[in-house]
Amino acid sequence: RIPGTKVILRPGDLVAIPFWSLHRDSRYWSEPEMFHPDRFMPENKDKIIGFTHMPFGMGPRSCIAMRFALMEAKVALAKLLLRAELHLRSNHEQLKLELSISITRPTEVKLVITPLTTSTSV
């Protein structure tokens, strides 16, 4: 039995954690729909309530490719920023994400990518 509920879990039951909802819960995050990367700066780590941010899961069943995925994203972003400038179009709108059992991507991002003329080979 889950404490404080009438729910009983039996061996073999499947439990799904709604990460999307957890990551956007106003009980844990101020302005949960806003992008505030400063939340994850080292000086703010102690303000994050345990087990409320799990983009790759946690514990022994966390994603084994987490470090690789994070490094790959950093390298790709660095290469892009070395070669181009990124700007939102003047007519951009707030991104709307759909509630789903999995992560979804926005269908239309109005982004202008301008190649740098003095780009170096990377």
Other Cβ atoms less than 10 A from the Cβ of 58: the count is 13
Residue 122 · residue 82 · CB < 8 Å:
yes
Tell me if 63 is assigned to a ligand binding site: yes
Residue 113 · residue 86 · CB < 8 Å:
yes
Residues 44 and 22: their CA atoms lie apart, in Å, by 19
| Closest to 66 measured CA to CA, from 74, 57, 53 | 57
Q: Which two tokens stand for residue 95?
A: 């991104």
| Residues in the annotated binding site | 63
| Residues in the annotated binding site for heme | 63
